[in-house]
Each structure stands twice: as C-alpha cells, then as structure tokens.
Chain A
C-alpha cells in the first residue's frame, strides 16, 4: 500500500502530461491537415488565378480569409481562455448580473461593421463577375451525363467563324480575349468550373447561363463538374485550352477543314466499321455513305441525353470520354502540359500523333467502355429511359474492329 502510494505520480504532474499529450495530438492533426493542402501538381488551384475574373475572386477571397481567420482566432482564443480561466474548481458561483449596455451594443456593432466591410467588396465582385458586356467571342457549352459539348456559333467574334464548330471535353479560346460562355444542360444540372479562370456556374436544363472566361497566357486549364450529376459525376472533367491568336486561327481552320478519306487500308476498313457501329450517335463531318449522301448521326434517337461527342477532329484534342482519359501517352501529355507558354500552342496543335497515341486506353474504351467509366448502359436496366443508355454502351467489337477503328480515328485531325 505504501509502495503504491510512494510510486504514484503527483496529480498536478499527471494533468500537465495529459494536456501536453493532447496538445501534441492536436498539433499533429493540424499539421496533417495543413500538409494535405500542399501539392506540386495542382491544375485546379483556385489560389493560382490565370485570368482577370479569377484574379478578382482571388483579390476578394484572400482578405476575407484573413479577416475571417483573425476573427476566428480571436473568438476561439477568448473561448479557450474563458473555459480555462473560469473552469469549475469548486469555487463559489460568482455574482450574477444582467445587462451591460455598452458591451452589448459594442458587440453588436463590431460584427456588423466587419460584415459591412466584407459585404461591400463581395457584392462589388459579384457584380463584376456577372459582367459580360465586354466579351468578344461566344462559345456554347452543353453539359450532359457525363461530358461537355463545346460549340462555336457562327459569329464575327473569335476572329470570325463562318460555320459552326463542335467539339467536346476541351474548350479552345484565344488568349487575352474575353469570351462569353453560354451554357446549358441536356439532362440534369451540371456546373462548369475552371478554377484558375473564373468561379463556377451551374448549367441548368432549359436555361442559358453565362460565364466570362479569359486566360492571360497560353496553356491548359483544368476543371471539373461541380454539381453532383449522377454516377460518373467525378469523371466529368473539362479543360480550357488557351492559344495565342495566331495559333487559335490555325485551330479554327483545322476544325473547319474538309473531311479527308482514310489513307491506308486499315483505316479504310475502320471507316466502314465506324459507319456501321458508331455513326448512329457520333458525327464525323463530311462522312458519306456509298451513295455519296452525308451520314448524319442521330444521337437524339439513340442516347438518353440526345447527344454524343462529335469525333470529326478527335485527334486535335488530347482527351476523350468526358476528358476522363488522355489520348496522349504520359510522356507526350507531360510534353504538352509542361510546355512553356511560348511553345505551348505549337505542341498542342500537333495533336495526337501515332507515336503519342495512348493506344492502350483507347482500345480499352472501345473494347468495353462501361467497364472503364461508370455509366447506365445495361440494356436490362434501361426501363426508366425507354431503353436509351446514358453513356456509351458495350458494342461487342472484335479485336480486329478495334484495330480498324483506332486506325480510322487516328486520322481524325
């Protein structure tokens, strides 16, 4: 009994150790949370603005975060002090008083002043972000499960566009040019967000929402759908490609160029396979049937959303399947992504070469697309959509057909 008493730790020392341990744990958790926010490759970093609108957001969010942080630290410190200083130690309950008008009025006015101080720049920024009158170019984006269609209407803006351009997954725009993005959705609500260029904008069926995009320098700016839109919401990505004006003209001209027939036997066979298997949903501009009549895809009859990506110039973009997969091998992708601004346009405009094609992924996709990306394509479970799949269904292509299609698609640029 005596030994036990003599070996026991004094109560005060035990308390200090306990508090110390808790502080260490709290510090470790805090440090972990802080470190989790660090990343070298963070293409969707909203704190790294690359355009005027994103810069406006940055100019607002930094001081607001600082103010909120100071208020938070002060508030938590006062609470911690009060909790610690006036903790229950068996002392008598102090005299209870009611009413400190000066203090109460002060604690009402002070937060109000802080909120007013935050509200003025916030409201001002909101209105500034909504401004689209100065835009010089119009690009339409349409969301559907689970990819983005991008189309350029006929217009005088964007350096002049004489015929509609339709692409998907990647929006190409001229650098230093304020662009009006007009967005909508074909099925459910999606949200367009390129963090380094602007805030997010919901795309709602039946409505046309606007968003101003402008990039300061050439490069790729990644984004992601930020409104939960179903099974593959997390895989619904997009990229904005900013090109110098001259490079943008080259890109436009290429998107409006005439259809070029396959140049080799395998690709020629791929054209037939494409017509038989893919052209019901996917449009390739200029493609004709045996009679010379244009082949017009009818995704509105075959897919629930009523649309499928236009593949006319597939290999001029670097992603596919809703920008979920790269068309480029990792090395070639890095070559484009990490290109300095003055070389970026040239490398991007090279498109996908046979050496850089990510054949493995493209073949996997053609072999069994539902296995690569979660989609509602099981024919036994499509009663709710009248038998129409949401996404690209399994086509049961043979390996030979896949070879042919890869060869054919490789020439779509």
Chain B
C-alpha cells in the first residue's frame, strides 16, 4: 500500500508531466517548457526515491516496524560542514575565472569542509547514542582541528597586524603598537589579578579585540600599504648602457638591498642641491678624492639630495675588446635613477689600480657636469 504522501508525490509527478506536455505543445515559450521539464524530473526523482526506500510500506499500527524503520532513528543535528563545503566549491569555481588565491582558498575550504563533514557523518553512524557519537567525533577530529585552527588563528592575527603596520606611517606604527602593546599588557595584568572577573567579560573583551583586529586588517589590507620606496639597484644599468643617461633606468626591484649591504659601507656619496658630490667617511676627512681598496667589493651608498632623479656612475676607463685588441670599450658601473632624497647602494670591485688607467677613475652624475669625484684605487 502507498501512503498518502506517496500518493501525493505520484500524483504531483503525473500532473507536472501532463502540464509540461500541454504547455510545451500549446505555448512557444522554451524557457517555460524547460522549467516545467525540470520540475517534472525533480518530482519524478523524489517519487522514485520514496518508492525505492519503501518508506510507504509500513503500517502506522505496526509498532515493531515503526520502531525499527530508518525514520524512527534520531535525525542528525544541524551541521555547518555542508555549507562550508559549498562555500569552498563556490570559491574554487570563482577562483578559476578571477584570481589564483581565491582558487587556492576555495580548495582549502572545500577540503576542510569535506573532511569535517566526512568525520561527522562517520561518527553519527557509530552508535545510536548521540552523546557517544559526538565523543567519537571529538576524539578523532580534535587532534587535527585544534593545531590547524590555532595556526589559522595565529596566521590571521599576524597577517592582520602586518596589514595594519604596513598601512600606518613609519612613525605612527611605532606609536600605535606601543599603545596597543601597553593595552594588552594592562589587560593581562587586570585579568591576572582579578580572577573573579566574569568569564563573559573576558570573552567579550577578547572577541571585541579580535574582531577589531581582523576588521582593521581587512580595511587596511584593502586600502593598501603606505608608500615604500622600491630599492632599485645597479644591476642591469651598465649592461643596458645607461650609465651616462640622465633619464632612463632599468630598475631591478628584486635584487638584494639588504640592511647588511647598507651598513658599515666604505663611503657615502651625496649629490647636493648645488650639483656637487660630497663624500662622508667614518673618521677624519681625507682629501677630496675617495680611496677604495683594490680587488675587493666595496659598498658605496649614493644619496640624492638634488631635486631631480639622478644616478651615480663610475667611469673605470677603457678596455680593449676583440682578439686583435683594436676596439676599446668604456667600463662603467652605475646605480639606477634615484628619486629625491632616495638612497641606493652601489658595489664596486675594481681590479687594476687607478694609476694604471689614463685619466684615472672618477664618479660622475649624468646630467650634472659639476658632480665629479676622483676615485683612487691603490
């Protein structure tokens, strides 16, 4: 016998098929016909599942059958994991047509949601006791959930902090995070010395701080970082033949410009507003020339205090090229163009001494004739 519900489903399916046929024959609308066909197929599937599970084969007064049928088992509780899985799948698909990070995040979320969903589904079939099933799930999933969740939370906090720090100016970042640090310390002292503080107060405080941090990270992350000077280097400049060019540049923003390279430099050379080059060394003033050791990489910082973008170039004389040594080539090394107030490192490693080259070695700034500084290599 069919139950009333089954009869309703069968009837609805038959009606929908008839309506679809009538509509499709009498009307020209393709979309409407497709929609009705979809509804008919969906109803037919639901009806088929209903018949297949033979849910309708139990009599209400058959107590034993009612007590043991699948429908009598406690329904599983609400689960967020299918939703997370769906969000992950959506993000993954969206990432395929937008940006790669979205695709990766989608895969990760989908994988996480699927794993949790699987674990929960497996645990719910462990026994008929909901409490026991929940314990089984915790025992399996928690050793994985807690470390990963902790790492994710730390990652979010760190990333949010970094976005805020990179958004603030160099001065403000020190001030803001000094204040934030002091607040955290004060809160920690407060909670440590007031053990009777309500749990809700602590949770509320932590939640507000966490939300504020993440929200700040999102806002500042979307707004972008403060202006950070791209550290350009001399790589490629000489190869591109730009050492005498006052305008073009070949910046290599990924080349090493470490703190180490800019600390304890051999000298600092400044292009001043008056178009003169001056040098600064640790110790007593030497002559107007700069002396650098031979055959040794020496770091020299170039500081542009003029009002235009400039580069520092070094002329190392000419060298013979070709087997017959008829042609000569000018050897030059230079920085990329440096903006006003900018600083750039140039590393010089010079083999022959300066007195072995006609005219010696000298620093110069293309476009500024008065900016010349003799370089002595003993």
> Which residues of A are interface residues toward B (Cβ below 8 A)?
132, 135-138, 140, 142, 149, 151, 153-157, 164-166, 180, 182, 184, 186, 204-210, 283, 294, 296, 298-301, 305-307
Find chain B residues with CB under 8 A from A208 CB: 264-266, 282, 298
Q: CB distance A307 to B284 under 8 Å?
A: no
State whether A142 and B291 are in contact (beta carbons under 8 Å apart), knowing that A135-B283, A210-B283, A296-B356 are contacts in the complex. no
Would A138 and B294 be within 8 Å (CB), given that A206-B260, A300-B351 are in contact?
no
Residues of B within 8 A of A204 (CB): 264
> In this assembly, does B216 line the interface, its C-beta being within 8 Å of a C-beta of chain A?
no
Q: CA A327 – CA B353 in complex, angstroms?
A: 27
Contacts of A207 in B (CB 8 A): 260, 263-265, 299
Q: How far is the CB of A397 from chain B (nearest CB, A)?
A: 25
Would you call B352 and A296 a contact (CB within 8 A)? yes
Q: Using Cβ atoms and an 8 Å threshold, which residues of chain A touch B31?
A: none
B291–A206 CB distance below 8 A? no
A301 touches B351 (CB 8 A): yes
Q: Which residues of B sit under 8 angstroms from A156, Cβ to Cβ?
A: 284-287
Q: How far is the CB of B284 from chain A (nearest CB, A)?
A: 5
Contact status A138-B286, CB under 8 Å: yes
Task: Tell me whether B293 is interfacial, beta carbon within 8 Å.
Answer: yes
Instruction: Give bound CA distance, A165 to B296, whole Å.
Output: 17
| Residues in B neighbouring A140, C-beta threshold 8 A | 291, 293
> A154-B289, A296-B353, A298-B351 known; A206 and B284 CB under 8 Å?
no
Instruction: Determine how close the nearest CB of chain B comes to the CB of A288; give it in whole angstroms.
Output: 12
Q: Lowest 10 A-B CB distances belong to which pairs? A: A306-B295, A153-B291, A164-B378, A300-B351, A207-B264, A180-B283, A155-B286, A300-B295, A296-B356, A154-B287
| Across-interface contacts of B285 in A (CB, < 8 A) | 155-156
- Say how far B253's CB is from chain A's closest CB, in angstroms: 21
Contact A164 B376 (CB under 8 A): yes
Contact of A180 among B266, B284, B287, B297 (CB under 8 A): B284
Question: Given A164-B291, A164-B378, A186-B296, are A138 and B264 also a contact pair (CB < 8 Å)?
Answer: no
Apart from A149-B293, A208-B266, A307-B295, 4 more pairs, CB < 8 Å: A140-B293, A156-B287, A164-B291, A182-B281
The chain B residue with its CB closest to the CB of A294 is B356
A214 to chain B, nearest CB (A): 14
Say yes or no: is B261 at the interface (Cβ < 8 Å to chain A).
Answer: yes
Chain A positions within 8 Å of B291 at CB level = 140, 151, 153-154, 164
CA of A207 to CA of B282, assembled, Å: 12
The closest CB in chain B to the CB of A162 belongs to B287
How far is B287's CA from A149's CA once the two chains are assembled, in angstroms? 21
* Chain B facing A: main interface SS: loop
A149 to B292, CA, bound (A): 13
Q: Nearest Cβ in chain B — how far from A185, in angstroms?
A: 8
Give complex CA distance A294, B294 in Å. Answer: 17
Question: Please, which residues of chain B bring their CB within 8 A of the CB of A153?
Answer: 286-287, 291, 376, 378
Tell whether, in the assembled complex, residue A157 and residue B295 are in contact, meaning their CB atoms are under 8 Å apart: no
Closest-by-CB residue of A relative to B258 is A206
- Do A142 and B356 have beta carbons less than 8 Å apart? no
Q: Which residue on chain A has the smallest CB distance to residue B263?
A: A207
- Complex Cα gap A164–B378 (Å): 6
Q: Does B282 lie within 8 Å of A132, measured CB to CB? A: yes
> Size class of B's contact patch?
20 to 34
Chain B residues with Cβ below 8 Å from A137 are: 284
CA distance A184 to B294 in the complex (A): 12
20 pairs, CB–CB < 8 Å, chain A vs chain B = A138-B281, A149-B293, A153-B286, A154-B287, A155-B286, A156-B286, A164-B291, A164-B376, A180-B283, A182-B281, A208-B282, A210-B282, A283-B353, A294-B356, A296-B352, A300-B295, A300-B352, A306-B294, A306-B349, A307-B294
Q: Is the beta-carbon distance between A138 and B283 smaller than 8 angstroms? A: yes
Q: A164-B376, A296-B353, A306-B351 are in contact. Are A186 and B286 (CB under 8 A)?
A: no
B296/A306 in contact, CB under 8 A: yes
List CB contacts (< 8 Å) of B306-354 with chain A.
347, 349, 351-353
A184-B293 contact in complex given A206-B261, A207-B264, C-beta closer than 8 Å: yes
Contact A155 B264 (CB under 8 A): no
Interface core residue of A136, A155, A283, A298 (most chain B CB under 10 Å): A155
Contact B286 A154 (CB under 8 A): yes
Q: How far is the CA of A69 from the CA of B371 in the complex (A)?
A: 60
* Smallest CB gap from A298: residue in B: B351
Whether B376 contacts A182 by the Cβ 8 Å rule is no
Please indicate the chain A residues that have their CB under 8 angstroms from the CB of B353 in the complex.
283, 296
Complex contacts, A184 vs chain B, CB 8 Å: 266, 293, 296, 298
Mask of B238-275 contacts with A, CB within 8 angstroms, 1/0: 00000000000000000000001101111000000000
Contact present for B296 and A155 (CB under 8 Å): no
> Is there an interface contact between A182 and B286, defined as CB atoms closer than 8 Å?
no
Most-contacted residue by chain B among A155, A186, A208 (CB, 10 A): A208
Contacting pair A206 B299 (CB below 8 A): yes
Chain A: CB-nearest residue to B288 = A154
Nearest Cβ in chain B — how far from A308, in angstroms?
Answer: 9
Chain B residue with the shortest CB-CB distance to A153: B291
Which chain A positions have C-beta within 8 A of B296? 142, 184, 186, 306-307
Q: Nearest CB to that of A158 among chain B residues?
A: B284
Q: Which residue of chain A is the closest to B264 with respect to CB atoms?
A: A207
**Which residues of A have CB within 8 Å of B378?**
151, 153, 164-166
Residues on the A chain within 8 Å of B263, using CB: 207
Contact A182 B283 (CB under 8 A): yes
Complex Cα gap A56–B237 (Å):
49
For the complex, give the distance between the alpha carbons of A306 and B296 in Å: 7
Contacts of A132 in B (CB 8 A): 282-283
Q: Which residues of chain A have C-beta atoms less than 8 A from B351's C-beta?
A: 298, 300-301, 306
Q: Compute how far the CA of A151 lies from the CA of B293 in the bound complex, rounded to whole angstroms.
A: 8
Tell me, rounded to whole Å, the shortest Cβ–Cβ distance linking A184 to chain B.
7
Q: How far is the CB of A176 from chain B (nearest CB, A)?
A: 16
Chain B residues lying within 8 Å of A151, measured Cβ to Cβ, are 291, 293, 378
- Kindly name the residue among A164, A210, A300 whose own CB sees the greatest number of chain B CB atoms within 10 A: A164
